[in-house]
Homo-oligomer: A and B are copies of this chain.
Amino acid sequence: MSKSVTVHDIAKLANVSSATVSRVLSNSDYPVSEKLRTRILKIAEEVNYVPNLLGKQLKKNSTMTIGIIIPSIINPFYSSVVFGVEEVARQEGFTVFACNSLQDPELEDEYIQTMMEMQVKGVIVSSITTNKEKLKRLIEMNMNVIAIDQKLDEEGISQIEFDHHKGGFLAAKYLQGKGHTRIGYVTTKLNRPSRKGICRGYMDAMKEAGLEPFVEEYRSDEPFNPIFEFETGRELARRMMGGDRPPTAIFACNDLLAFGVIHELRVRGLQVPSDVSVMGFDGIDVGQMIHPPLTTIKQPDYEMGKMACRMLVDMTMGKDKPMFNVTLQPKLLERHSVRDLNG
């Protein structure tokens, strides 16, 4: 990098003090004569002045950066969240630093550390770590933190939750309403609050209807990857259909898994929804592009990102740090992967 030009350089060229230059170039409201202002602006333009944010931020002891930690950006759900975050961050003049924890607690902690060192104004985190040491530390240091997606039991942290339980309940009830009684639930490892929530919702709905729950859980928890989820869906469908009392409807803990289920059913010569019905969870865009379009539970990803960022920005603005606890509600996206057994 060629030596960059500073306010001092410009000051010399304009025969003024660097203070004046700074006042002009940082759009301070401090009065500077029009003559000087235009002269300085002109010179800055000529020499291609680029302000050094590091100096500025160090001086002001404040950045306009927020961090976000998600499991993986290649998960369409999370990329929508990040997209939403960036959207409002940009409007508010913030810059966002996004990190993939890859479901690795160590990596998650590392990134939190990096963010602290970067002096970010706040962090949005979808944490999968069970040991929240680092996260607690963050909050202790009075950092603005918002947890999304994964519920945290820590004190003093604002959260945007999603009612996974209700989502699972809703799905099971919907299937029951369509006349299904033998309803299976396939899920990735039940090691996260969100996943447990959906599962319990499903169980409760089944119990309430006096139906026998039927759950298949994939027990290993590999690094996230859409294809892996898809394959997991296939595997779980295989298990579920292999038994002596196969279900008439399969509910999956996420859409990608549901894609795998549908694929596997087709491979086995079964039609969806005429032979077996399938429901997903999340409501990612591609769900409506496949065949049949997937009936699913919508989790407002993009809106969640926007809301999280908005809340974070508000927190950084206000002197006091009000605690919020928003709970977003599930919505059923009725498409064409479920058959009505009543009619």
Contacts and interface: CB of A to CB of B under 8 A. Distances in A.
A140 B95 CA distance: 25
A76 B76 contact: yes
B83 A50 contact: no
Contacts of A82: 73
Contact of A95 (B114, B286, B291): B114
A90 B72 CA distance: 14
A255 to B, nearest CB: 10
Contact of A117 (B50, B72, B226, B262): B50
Contacts of A54: 54, 57-58, 63, 118-119
Interface string A226-268: 1100100000000000000000000000001001101100100
A325 interface: no
A134 B320 CA distance: 40
A55 B53 contact: no
A316 to B, nearest CB: 9
A18 interface: no
A299 interface: no
Contacts of A99: 86
A290 B95 CA distance: 36
Interface residues of A, number: 55
A141 B2 contact: yes
A268 to B, nearest CB: 13
A12 to B, nearest CB: 19
**From DSSP, what is the main secondary structure of chain A's interface residues?**
helix
A291 B290 contact: yes
B53 A117 contact: yes
A67 to B, nearest CB: 10
B51 A117 contact: yes
A52 B119 CA distance: 7
Interface in A45-71: 48, 50-55, 57-58, 63
A50 B140 CA distance: 13
Contacts of A100: 83, 86
A285 B74 CA distance: 10
A15 B218 CA distance: 57
B285 A227 contact: yes
A200 B303 CA distance: 40
Nearest to A56: B117
A26 B191 CA distance: 37
Q: Which of A1, A50, A142, A260 has the most CB of B within 10 A?
A: A1
Interface string A272-290: 0000000000000110111
Nearest to A98: B98
Contacts of A119: 52-54
Q: Rank and list the top 8 A-B pairs by shortest CB-CB distance, nearest first.
A: A259-B289, A54-B58, A53-B117, A226-B285, A2-B142, A290-B290, A79-B79, A50-B116
Interface of A: 1-2, 4, 48, 50-55, 57-58, 63, 72-74, 76, 79-80, 82-83, 86, 90, 95, 97-100, 107, 113-114, 116-119, 137, 140-143, 226-227, 230, 256, 259-260, 262-263, 266, 285-286, 288-291
